[in-house]
Structure formats: structure tokens, C-alpha cells
Amino acid sequence: MSSTPNPNPNPNPNPNDASDAQDVSWTLRCVECDVAYPGLELRYRCDCGGTLDVIHDVARQREVTTALFDARLGAREGPDRSGVWRYRELVLPVEPETIVSRQEGNTRLYHSPAVASWAGLDAILLKHEGENPTGSFKDRGMTAGVTVARRLGMRRVACASTGNTSASMASYAAVAGMEALVFIPEGKIAYGKLAQSLAYGAHTVQIPGDFDAAMTLVERVCAERGIYLLNSINPFRIEGQKAIGFELLQDLAWQVPDWIVLPGGNLGNSSALYKGLAELLALGLIPRLPRIAVIQAEGASPLYEAWTRSAELVPAPNAETVATAIRIGNPVSWRKSLRGIVATRGVVERVSDQEIVDAKAQVDRAGIGAEPASCATVAGIRKLVGAGVIRPDERVCGILTGNLLKDPELVVGYHRGELPGLVSTYANPPVRARLGQDGQLVWE
């Protein structure tokens, strides 16, 4: 793939791809101006620039029951085995044989008295999305995005990423036999994620700017070259990602918790969580909505600023945080995310890097473990409990978005006390020993 951008972007470079594929039950609708488009039109934004929602045929969905989803839980193969496609009527009603799946989802929900007590809660539930096939929550959206890419006849897919989206897309593209192109901020993604992108065979382009610059670049390259864009601006990514809430509710026997707390970067995940829960409510499958709390890193908190000022989001240039996954200053899905926070009487909180690494040490030490951005969740819960926003006796579910092994450098740096500007409050440094001549261990 050459990298010279064409100065004349064509927003619909390959209109024939979707020509025989318009027979679907959903449409696309702009979140800003309500204009509707055909369900499989090759577009990611409305003509007005707004992002798009997938709007389902609710009449068809009314036949679905929680008992149907429960009956599918025991499946050994096929779409029912996936924690996304088990809910396919609500995700995307596609032909099962077109689905590109790695049996994603089916992640565990942990009780952790140790983390609960540190956060100031009587109890806590942690849904570990780092237990997905590529080690992050991104696999839920990616299975839907790549399935639609195949349905559209696309051969090449692309994304900008802070590392997890690219790892996930690279894997699913490989499974589907597609070419993958990823743009990542050089030196700013965790090593485990870079390794995955290379290993799964993606063309991996490191750019000198940050995620926001990579995002601008990829939107342009995709439009010019007829490559399918698989960032969460792609509305089908959001549809797959919704299953995070479906599965969590199913884990809880469809009992609605008081709070669901998750980290916010590009804000696709929180948008998806709300959309899915609102759809469950509208179908009468749950009686009420939980409150959603989105936690941002202090150095990358434009949603927090917008929410506290009740204003439009102003991009935060030069976003900076140790939680590289959420080092994003200009989140694409902020409006969709804010819609859910407002509708659920939710909140946005921000936490410092020190709070993130200390929360991470607690989550890790509890035997669960997660990557830094995930632990913003727990740092945020602790802060919200401290501020009296979350009561200690409320039922709180935190989403851990990525696996501990994604960012081993930060873990080792923390425990060795080598993270610049941060205190290793709960350090567990490695020690040195050797065998002495008398056969005894000699500590150094």
C-alpha cells in the first residue's frame, strides 16, 4: 500500500460493493440531524458531519426474550457460542454463515472483596473484558465490523489506534482473509499491542503525531482508497460493542445494577453500552437503566470538561497519560456518549495518573489484573465513593477493558519504582539472589 494521500477524497469510492447487499432490516440515522440512510451504505458520517446510529426494526426484535438468550448459553459451537452473536437479533440480524467470529465475549464477572474495600464499597463486580480473544473489549465491536466488511465485499480494512483496536482488527482481518492497515502513534502504544498487530500480519504504520492525528489520517486514507474504516466511528462497531451490556445483564440474571463504570477514551464503548441498555429497556427486557459513570485520565479529559461545563466538547490538544489506551484529546463519539450519561443520570469523573497506577496495583494484587486504562475504572469508583456520588451499599459493576499483559513495561516500571513523576505506593520489586559456594542462597 502506498502512503501518498490523494488530494481529491471520494467519500464513496466503491459504490458497487453494497449493490446486492441492501436487503437488511436496519437503517442508519444521523445523531445530529436525524437524516436516515440505507443500512449498508458505505458511509461513516452524515452529510452534515454527524456520526451515525444503527436503527433497528423494533417490530422484529419484539419476539426476543431473555429466556431465548439464556437457552443459547450452553451452545458448544456456532453464533450462540459468541457473547456477541448470542444476542444477534439485537446486535445485527445477519445470516449466521456470514459472521466472522472468534467466540468473543463470555468474559468473567469477578467479585473482589479486596478491591471493594480499597474503593470504599461493600462489594464490587468487575467484568473482565481483557479476557476476550485478543485481550480487550474491542473484539465485541470488531466481530460486527468485520462481518459487515465481508458483507460489503471489502478486502481491506483500516483503523487508527492506541493499540487495542489495531490488535483486534488485525486478528479479525486475518481470520476473514482481509488485508489490515493500522495507524498508530509512534512510541505511544504499549508493547503487547504493537506485538499483536505485527504478529497478526497487519501493515503497521507508525506516525509521529498522536492518536487524534492518526484518526484524521485514517479517515482520509479510507475515503480515498476504498478501504473499510473500522474505528468506532463505524456504527457497526458500536452494535457489536453493545453486547458488553447484554452479557453483563445476563451474568446478573437480568437484575439491573445501580452503576456501570467504565473508562472513556474515544468514547465508543460508553456510547455502545448506553445504546444497548436503552434498547433492552425499550423492549421491556429490563425494568430500568443503571447509571453510567465514565472515567477519564486527567491529562486526556475533554468529556469531563464538556460535562462539567454543560457545553460542547472542546478538543484537548497534547493529551497525556500513562494509560496510553485512553490518551485521546478529540474523541469521535463524544455526543453519543454524553447522550447516555445524561439519560441515565450518570456522571463523568477524571483521575490522575497516580490514582490510575495505584488502582491498577490493587486490581493486579487482587489476582485479577488489568491494563492501566482499565484501572481508571476502579480509581474512578474510589473517587466517586469518596465524593458521596456512589453510596458504599450500591451495586457497582466496573468494566476492566484490557488484559494485564498488554502493558508489561508499565507494570515492571511501577514495581521497580521507575515511573517518572509517579510514586510506587504498592511496589513489589523483584529481588536478586544467587547460589553461594556453600549451596545457600545469597541475597544481593
Is 267 one of the binding residues for ligand F0G (CB under 6 A)?
yes
Query: Among the candidate windows 146-154, 158-166, 216-224, 415-423, which touches ligand F0G by CB under 6 A?
Result: 158-166
Rounded to a whole number of angstroms, the minimum distance from the CB of residue 403 to ligand F0G is 9
Is 264 one of the binding residues for ligand F0G (CB under 6 A)?
yes
Residue 251 identity (one-letter amino acid): D
End-to-end CA distance of the chain: 53
Q: Name the residue nearer to ligand F0G (CB basis): 17 or 139.
A: 139
The number of residues making up the chain comes to 444
Q: Name the residue nearer to ligand F0G (CB basis): 28 or 404.
A: 404
What span, in angstroms and rounded, lies between the C-alpha atoms of 227 and 9? Answer: 12
Is 329 one of the binding residues for ligand F0G (CB under 6 A)?
no
Among left, alpha and beta (phi > 0; psi -120 to 50; other), residue 134 is alpha
Cell of 126: 468487575
Q: Name the residue nearer to ligand F0G (CB basis): 79 or 299.
A: 299
CA angle 101, 106, 108 (to 5 degrees): 150
Is 401 one of the binding residues for ligand F0G (CB under 6 A)?
yes
Which of 82, 103, 143, 165 touches ligand F0G by CB under 6 A? 165
Query: Among the candidate windows 76-84, 266-274, 304-312, 387-395, which touches ligand F0G by CB under 6 A?
Result: 266-274
Look up residue 4 and give its DSSP letter: P
Which of 89, 210, 212, 371 touches ligand F0G by CB under 6 A? 371
Is 266 one of the binding residues for ligand F0G (CB under 6 A)?
yes
Q: Name the residue nearer to ligand F0G (CB basis): 147 or 162.
A: 162
Is 171 one of the binding residues for ligand F0G (CB under 6 A)?
no
Helices 408-415, 191-199: crossing angle, 10 deg rounding:
160
Rounded to a whole number of angstroms, the minimum distance from the CB of residue 260 to ligand F0G is 14
CB 366 within 8 A of CB 300: no
Is 402 one of the binding residues for ligand F0G (CB under 6 A)?
yes
Which of 134, 269, 301, 344 touches ligand F0G by CB under 6 A? 269
Rounded to a whole number of angstroms, the minimum distance from the CB of residue 238 to ligand F0G is 9
Cell of 86: 448470542
Provide, for the chain, the percentages of residues in helix, strand and coil under a 3-state DSSP scheme, each rounded to the nearest 5: 40, 15, 45
Strand locations in 1-55 (E): 27-30, 36-38, 52-55
Give the burial string for 67-94 (b: 16+ CB within 10 Å, else e): eebeebeeeeeebbbbbbbbbbbbbbeb
Rounded to a whole number of angstroms, the minimum distance from the CB of residue 297 to ligand F0G is 10
Is 263 one of the binding residues for ligand F0G (CB under 6 A)?
yes
Is 373 one of the binding residues for ligand F0G (CB under 6 A)?
yes
Q: Which residues bind ligand F0G (CB under 6 A)?
A: 136, 138, 161-165, 232, 263-270, 325-326, 371, 373-374, 401-402
